[in-house]
Amino acid sequence: MPLVGAVMAGATPGNILRDIVPFLFMLLPVFMIDTVRDRVRWHFIITACVVVLGVVFSARVIAPLVLASSGFDGAAQLGMNMSAQDPHRLANAPSVLFAAMAMLGAAGVLISRRMNANGLLSAVFLSALALIPVAAMALVLQRASLGLLAAGVVFWVGVGIVKKPRRMAIPLLGLAVLCVAVWGPLPDVVAGLSHKNAMVGANMRWQEAAAVRDALHGIGAVLFGNGWGATVQSPAVGDAIVTFTHSLGTTLWLKSGLVGVGLGVAYFGGLALALIRFLPIHPILVVALGAPMVIDYLLYASFKSLDFGLILLLVALYGARSAHAAPVWTARQSCCIQNHTQ
């Protein structure tokens, strides 16, 4: 129906294609689940690829600032100025938040389960690597990402204290050391987040939803949307005419109507429920995957990306595992490798 609506509305081929391709990314679980579901090695490969992708995106964001501070004259040519802007919105990518949370969570599990030099070195390496995506999100003041990251760490600590309090002494000490390491820029980041919150609030998300409602004329459009390539005058981007919104729900409403929203709720809700079932088994992985899902569902337009499709694929893969398979982080899995015991 969205394609029929696009043809009837006279949408441009470019806009149609820009909508269809991200939609196909979101269907990666449908296309690939049967191919890789029973191949544990591929689970690790995809997980590692998403983590590497997040680190690379983050490094791209912070590299110009690092080079500029070290006296490199060509830093501005890399696409970001000293005002900490991220013109390509790479720090918004779901893989960035996933990489930070997965590596921090893995580091905590490593030092709680392996009280030896290898475990400690692996945890230090993962924690240091996790600071790259954390720095990228802090640099561009990603409130939701940093907030969910902090909430996730608090949740993991709480779960650890409740389930295995004797093993939490070393992880808590490591967390304290990590906090000391980032204490210098922390006041500036908090001040920047507070100022941004005071200036932009909810970033016109409710007004954007109202604009989508006003763009749907007639019962047919309300039910089936305006089709692929449909545009909306969005107050969230200064009343510019754009082909997206900052919420997956309102985007589906604009493109495919309430019917599409209902199908989306069934599809994404099913993935979310499959993930939630594994929360008692693997809180690290569940929270690391769930956080970018929540953000892309509700707040950011980064759901129109390949790495969001890869996040959904990971949700489907791990959600499809038997409830008897309990994943365990090990030192050899230095970058989110899952080792499942039956």
pLDDT tens column, 69-126:
555 444 444 444 434 455 667 878 899 999 999 999 888 888 877 677 777 788 889 9
CB 209 within 8 A of CB 250: yes
Q: How far apart are CA 94 and CA 84, in angstroms?
A: 19
What is the average pLDDT across 171-183? Answer: 81
User: 192: exposed, middle or buried (C-beta count within 10 Å: 0-12, 13-18, 19+)?
Assistant: middle
pLDDT at 192: 74
CB 133 within 8 A of CB 148: no
Number of domains making up the chain? 1
pLDDT at 12: 73
Helical segments of the chain, H only: 2-9, 13-26, 28-36, 40-69, 94-113, 117-139, 143-163, 169-181, 186-200, 205-215, 218-224, 248-276, 283-298, 306-319
- Domain that includes residue 169, residue range: 2-341
Neighbours of 191 (CB within 10 A): 10
pTM score, whole prediction: 0.80
pLDDT at 334: 39
